[in-house]
Amino acid sequence: MQSNKNKYVEIVNELKQFTYDRSINAKNLKDLGYIVKSLIKDATEIVPKRKKNIPEDSHLKSHFGGQPYFEKGEQWPTKNGSDNFEFIFQIFNTGNINLPENIKLIQFYYDFENYPYDESAFIKIYEQINVANNIVIKKPEWHSEKNYCEIEYVAKKSLPDIDLGIDEATIYYQIVKNLNVDFNFCSQLGGYPKKLQTEASPKNKDFQLLFQIDSESEAGLMWSDCGLVYAFYNKKTKETIFDIRFC
């Protein structure tokens, strides 16, 4: 099976041929469209919907803000006893969103005092949950109050950003448009990470995008003036990698 890397090279070479000598015809463009289409990944857009009131059972819902889910014996997360990790969001795996099957619940915490360093993030994964054992742990006194938003999901298609010249990019994005794939910045589960200035994907291709979180005004989140946070997940080792990009 042809690797994605080889497909990228083929796409770039075909686009350069068209740009430089105009020898590619409609059939070639159609064939190139098939190559691009084969790269499509399913993704799930995360849409925060702000609510006026925080329900008492917010810890049992997928949401931004509100209370995180905990089970008996757990404590508020910390790495070294001094990190001020604020709860950002949690998502329960409904089975029809782009989360690995073994992940039943994912939570994201962030230390804004340590912003923007990679170690500022805490990604918590539950492979099993027992709601009968759930408890509520009040947020620490230093925790800022975030906007409470419940989450809506939108199925979407995702394609990679490929480094191209202006002329080649024009053709590529026309093909992408014909495939009904948009390149808008958004928060999402799965798919390809949206490139912001530089490539965010880890060199180790066993790590695939777990989630990408855009600046979300509804949830009161702003990663600098314009930024994205990324979490990548290795299904084999069950490790996560965090990254943040902003401009």
Condensed to tens digits (0 to 9), the pLDDT of residues 66-116 reads 999 999 999 999 877 667 899 999 999 999 999 999 999 999 999 988 766
Condensed to tens digits (0 to 9), the pLDDT of residues 26-42 reads 566 777 788 888 889 99
> In whole angstroms, what is the distance from residue 63 CA to residue 214 CA?
15
CB crowding 79-105: b at 16 or more within 10 Å, else e: eeeebbbbbbbbbbbeeebbbbeebeb
What local confidence, expressed as pLDDT, does residue 98 receive? 97
Condensed to tens digits (0 to 9), the pLDDT of residues 50-60 reads 999 999 999 99
- Residue length of the chain: 247
> In whole angstroms, what is the distance from residue 214 CA to residue 47 CA?
10
> In whole angstroms, what is the distance from residue 48 CA to residue 203 CA?
31
Q: Quick one: 208 exposed, middle or buried, by C-beta within 10 A (0-12, 13-18, 19+)?
A: middle
Give long-range contacts, CB 8 A cutoff, 24+ apart: 110-118: 110/85, 110/86, 110/229, 111/83, 111/84, 111/85, 111/86, 112/84, 112/86, 112/144, 113/84, 114/83, 116/223, 116/224, 116/227, 116/244, 116/246, 118/242, 118/243, 118/244
Calculate mean pLDDT across residues 221-239.
90
Condensed to tens digits (0 to 9), the pLDDT of residues 154-177 reads 999 999 888 777 777 888 888 888
Spatial CB neighbours of 101, under 8 Å, sequence gap ≥ 6 = 93
Does this model's pTM top 0.85? My answer is yes
